[in-house]
Amino acid sequence: MAKSAYKKTSLKKGEIMKNKLMKFFIFTIALQIVLPVLTYSETKGQLMLKAKRGAQVDAYRKLSELIKGINVSSNTYVRDFVTESDEIRIQFNDFIQGAKVLGPPKFIEEADGSYTAQVDVKVTLEQVLQGLAQISYNRGPNKPPLDLTYMKNHTRKKEFIATGTSNTGVNIPLGQSAVARSPKKYGTTRKSHTTGLAGWENVTGQGRLKAERAALTDARRNLAETVEGLRITGNTYVRDFVIESDEIRTSLNAFIKGVKKISPYRYYDNAIVEVDVQVTIEDVIRELTTVQQHFQKKGFMWQNDLFRNVTFDKITRWADKKVITATGTGTVHEADYFDRAGSASINSSNSSIPASWSGKTITAVGVGILAQGQTGASARVNAERAAEMDARRNLVEQLYGVQINSQTTVRDFVLQNDRVNADVTAFLSGARKVGEPVYNDDGSVEVTVEIALDQLWELINR
């Protein structure tokens, strides 16, 4: 009896152990099947949120630029108020980041398996007025709060909307689209407009965005050239007004950058994209008049007295059209194609600096003019400052023409995206003056600046 009972007990324990092993085996197999899916889904969600956050930051940046271009008075911009102090700038940025997000994000499925997020943000004119009024109380005891009456009565736009975009790059296996498998309730998804177009098959999502930005930049540059070609009087053009100073050019460039595109991007074979931008003659006249009044208020030293009291309304006599439209084109950089394995083919990622760059510096000379009738140290300082600005502008043109490889220049590299543009701009700010200013017999002064290429190569590789 004892042996029989022991045998039954042993068999029972064996069956229990067998069942446990079987359950463990089934659990292991199931885990191997389910875990990658769960892990992939979690990574997918993180990537979607990352793209959304990046697009939202981009939208806030664009919205900020739109609002900074509004006139507080006939000769003052919002950007003048924002730059009064760091405290005001911080509060203004906080106000921008409180702008309303319009609906869920939109996602574009790219050919490389990545995806691009689009986010719209909006703020009304009334909200801007309220925000600026609240911030202006921090100007200090010597500066009263802003009078926003002019801004309220003369700003035609009643709401400001900006669209931000962001692409996280190829972070998932090619052919396993994160967007296609994402929850439908979180945003909307569509195929990229370039899907199926010849020449766009192997373009990364980031490459498509860079090409669009290049086209928009080109369109705005073409628009600026047309605006500067407008005639003010019988023999005077806007370009004559612009070259009065770099500050005037900067103000007009800020206005041009705020001009929105009026068409969707048009995609053609061979990875070419086009876009249109537009501005009215009335907007141009209003901007030029504001710039003029702004610099009159600052006591700007005009090189040409004509522009002190010129009436820009005369532009309408010489302009054939009431609306100016310009088209820009862009294309995909060679580094923004992916191969069949799904990895981007970056050709410029050579960690060692080229022999043609090593130890090389670029030098540029600028010329300034002593103001007629002015003498003394102040006049010389102003002339030298103008010469240095001219030298730095000439330095930029030389630097942009430097070859990165046989097909790409620094200009092409800078046009890829705003972050690269900002990095190169910061790099250029490190240019230094060389030697002493040279005064010529004709009253002009020459200043030389230079910059080394070694650090630029590190920036390009990064």
Residues 101-137 pLDDT 10s? 888 888 887 777 777 888 899 999 999 999 998 888 7
**Can you tell me the distance from the alpha carbon of 64 to that of 67, in angstroms, rounded to the nearest whole number?**
5
Q: Find, among 282, 352, 276, the residue nearest to 323 by Cα.
A: 282
Low-confidence winner among 110-119, 135-144, 358-367, 413-422 (lowest mean pLDDT): 413-422
| Mean pLDDT, the chain, whole residue set | 76
What is the structure's pLDDT at 120? 92
Phi and psi dihedrals of 351, rounded to 5? -70, -25
**Can you tell me the distance from the alpha carbon of 201 to that of 269, in angstroms, rounded to the nearest whole number?**
10
**Can you tell me the distance from the alpha carbon of 154 to that of 56, in angstroms, rounded to the nearest whole number?**
29
Phi and psi dihedrals of 41, rounded to 5? -65, -40
What is the structure's pLDDT at 129? 92
Question: Is 80 exceeded by the pLDDT of residue 171?
Answer: no
Question: Is 50 exceeded by the pLDDT of residue 184?
Answer: no
Q: In the predicted model, what is the mean pLDDT of residues 237-244? A: 87
Q: In the predicted model, what is the mean pLDDT of residues 439-446? A: 80
Output Rg (C-alpha) for the chain, integer angstroms: 30
- Extended strands (E) in 46-138: 71-73, 76-77, 100-101, 106-109, 115-124
- Count the neighbouring beta carbons within 10 Å of the beta carbon of residue 33: 9
Phi and psi dihedrals of 301, rounded to 5? -85, 100
DSSP result, 187-249: SEEEE-TTTT-TT-TTB-HHHHHHHHHHHHHHHHHHHHHHHHT-BSSSS-BHHHHHTT-HHHH
What is the structure's pLDDT at 33? 43
Supply the DSSP symbol for 326.
E
Question: Is 50 exceeded by the pLDDT of residue 344?
Answer: no
Contact predicate 311/241, CB 8 Å = no
**Can you tell me the distance from the alpha carbon of 311 to that of 353, in angstroms, rounded to the nearest whole number?**
53
What is the structure's pLDDT at 128? 92
Amino acid symbol at 458: E
- List CB contacts of 274: < 8 A, sequence separation 6 or more: 215, 265, 266, 268, 327, 328, 329, 330
Q: Find the distance separating the first CA and the last CA of the chain, reported in whole Å.
A: 82
Structure-model confidence comparison of residues 374 and 83, the more confident one: 83
Q: In the predicted model, what is the mean pLDDT of residues 224-240? A: 87
Provide, rounded to the nearest whole percent, the portion of the chain with pLDDT above 70: 73
Q: Which range among 46-50, 213-217, 244-248, 378-382 has the greatest average pLDDT?
A: 213-217
pLDDT in tens, 280-331: 888 898 889 888 888 887 777 777 777 888 888 888 777 777 888 999 988 8
Measured over the CA atoms of residue 127, residue 129, residue 134 and residue 140, the dihedral's sign is positive
Q: Which range among 203-212, 242-251, 280-289 has the greatest average pLDDT?
A: 280-289
Question: Is 90 exceeded by the pLDDT of residue 29?
Answer: no
Q: Which range among 72-76, 146-150, 309-313 has the greatest average pLDDT?
A: 146-150
